[in-house]
Amino acid sequence: MYRPLFSCTVLATVILLFGFTACGPRPPTGNVVEMNGDMFTRTVLTMPAGTSVAFTDDVGGATHFLATGTDGKYAPEAGAPKELTTPIGVEIVGGQTLHLVFTMVGTYHIMCTIHPMMNVTITVKA
């Protein structure tokens, strides 16, 4: 039997819980790679194939160009999201979050072309 009042209460509760979660501190867990100025806040990430990674810089607010490779040097890696497999890389500016889906199993080295110290290795498992 359909009870609209109950449904609205459940919906409001879900929105409230989700809202509080989104506003709280966000440690670098799950499929999140945060950037802080000229550093990634994590250097490794392991996740299942077909899931996305949120690259975000809402702390340092810098501009980054992310691509495959290490120490600021581009190296194409087969199977990586196409946005990352260009020498210039994909631009992400402060406050922006970029979601990229990794569909292929493999190990991917992601770096920032203008901040050579920024390196993160993403391992995608079946």
Distance CA 47, CA 107 (A): 11
Q: Which is nearer to Cu ion, 49 or 121 (CB)?
A: 121
Q: How far is the CB of 57 from Cu ion (least distance, A)?
A: 8
Q: How far is the CB of 126 from Cu ion (least distance, A)?
A: 31
x-or-dash pattern for Cu ion, window 52-91, by CB under 5 A?
------------x---------------------------
Q: Which of 113, 109, 89 is nearest to 38 (CA)?
A: 113
Rule CB under 5 A: is residue 115 a binding residue for Cu ion?
Answer: yes
Contact criterion met (CB below 8 Å) for 32 and 56: yes
Rule CB under 5 A: is residue 112 a binding residue for Cu ion?
Answer: yes
Q: How far is the CB of 89 from Cu ion (least distance, A)?
A: 9
Distances (CA, A) of 37 to 21, 57, 93, 117: 24, 8, 11, 11
Q: Which is nearer to Cu ion, 102 or 115 (CB)?
A: 115
Distance CA 54, CA 100 (A): 7
Residues that bind Cu ion in the complex, under the rule CB under 5 A: 64, 112, 115, 118
